[in-house]
Amino acid sequence: MENPHEQTHNMLLARIITNMENLNESVVEMKKLLGDANKNNLPMEVLARMWESYIRNAEYHLQATGQKETAQPEDEEEEEEEEEEEEEARS
């Protein structure tokens, strides 16, 4: 004599397995698309890092040659906040 709950149990397991397979396929596709997006954004990231380096170097040399006054505390706080926001956005 068959257990009446066994058939229901097997049907639920089959649905769960099917849903997990579909979820896995979706995750694999999303991972591929995110990898493509990261690959496409790589030149922009490199350019941004180069630009940041250029700005830091230019400011250093301007201060070293006396052509620029030292930054005021308010400006430094704003720059630190912007850098923290950029780091959070990258994460």
User: How many folded domains does the chain comprise?
Assistant: 1
Q: Is the pLDDT of residue 42 over 90?
A: yes
Q: Which amino acid is at 63?
A: Q
Structure tokens at 14: 């089959």
- The band of 75, judged by pLDDT with boundaries at 50, 70 and 90, is low
pTM over 0.95: no
* Better-predicted residue by pLDDT, 14 or 3: 14
| Cβ-contact 62, 68 below 8 angstroms | yes
* Structural domain for 46, as ranges: 4-90
CA distance 37 to 45: 12
